[in-house]
Structure 1
């Protein structure tokens, strides 16, 4: 058996081991890591889904979701581009957990969703995930200028998508991706001049070299899994754990007034060890002078990304805030 040269354990999620030969071993998830889409509608929610390869080199795929609509439906629907969590190195847009979650969200919010299957670290270290997600967002936006359906366009987006109501969002690492893409959209244009209307960040992953709030102090903080994780997924990051992509107030961080959207919703969970960072992010945006609509929503007594494990309770808790956010 190969000897282990590096091992990293994440709290509450499976661990990853890298062997001398470069092999990456992920502990199996406690649920299927892949489930097929439901082109003929999910029996529980009526949502249809399908997989689309948007780029061959690099290989980037998405899973698109469409709510159950009457045959004579003509009203355009909001579009949500979604980025899954998993510490940038685990999970999938095609997993059982994400499939069930997006089915529920799309069914309740009546939106078209595009969930991005971005490449994972450590095989593809950051900033690869950011680049893949930006490419997917550009792909979605490219449909805005297509009046007529052709073989190169996704018919769900062309027929039903309202590009004046484009949202991005994600959980944990996906919340971090959401922030960074909103910042990128503030300086780079999307295809067709499309603008991001709103961004939601749920239990977002932010960190830094100095503890805040209830975070552990001293040596315990330096060895904390959130500090180690960033070095694992982005070993070449300038500034390390204070890189602006993970620490919005790190040295050289751009002003948050540059957020390229009109609305931001930050959701945090009271028992989440990332809770204080999410609240700090909300405060930083508020104090920056950014002119959009900003809201903080907290669910007390719950842990990190609890809504994935409590799907039905989710519809009565933080997801209600998201549904209102997406429908406004």
Structure 2
């Protein structure tokens, strides 16, 4: 947990693994550590290749509120989709490196990233790093080719890199801190707070915030210590649908929807209007468990048109921290306007929990 670089993490895990006795009770733990070590070794190999070959910049710094990465095989229609979503033409050479653009939806800014095509499993390391860093994914499937093979190949590639598009029963995040003991936010199954505290102490973690989405077991929390699967909400985009006749397209789309739990959308590059942007954006926003809150200027009374995007369950002080460190440090109180309140505005403290659509005015 204290290690920062991949090299430090790998060394710490190697030392830890050598100290864990081999018996049936530690099989699961040893397997988790081994998987994590394999992922770190792969990351270090990719870095070495980049240094040796020079290579082009592949990392895309996040901008806006949500980063949405498009993945697909050659000729799958990624670039046409990117153009329709962002209205941006890609620059020359963009097929060799990621290209970012912006999609605005209800005041929320999605940074859409088009990526080079997936050519082979062995050359996909950088693309999978982009996918893991993203908030959500769009998987492009060429309707004129074998759609099931394309989707299965994409899902297998993601799974091999410990990325899942299937929402797990529980998502656990462990934030280590210097003081304050262990705080659990969320629900546990067949375990108590004391069980979690005891488990964390076995790994020398005495102060941490454990955030749980869903309902988590002790096994879920232990996996989170070593880096469990990264969940990325995703939609499937069936492209080039204008090249198929109506009956063939209908049958293909129905079967594809039956084979996956992911939303399936149809897209023709000749008609950007065929894109259901509202459905795609609202689905991803909901799956990421985000909400929008609007700030009000204490001096002018004006409410900002563009919202602040935060995780559901966030408190007033979280918004203060996001706006400016001075508001966070010198926070006095806040006023909230919302139809859910008995009266508006209501004067609240730092720990008041916000909901989607709330208007907030912070006094510092």
With normalisation by structure 2, the TM-score equals 0.23
By percentage of residues, which structure has more helix?
Answer: 2
With normalisation by structure 1, the TM-score equals 0.25
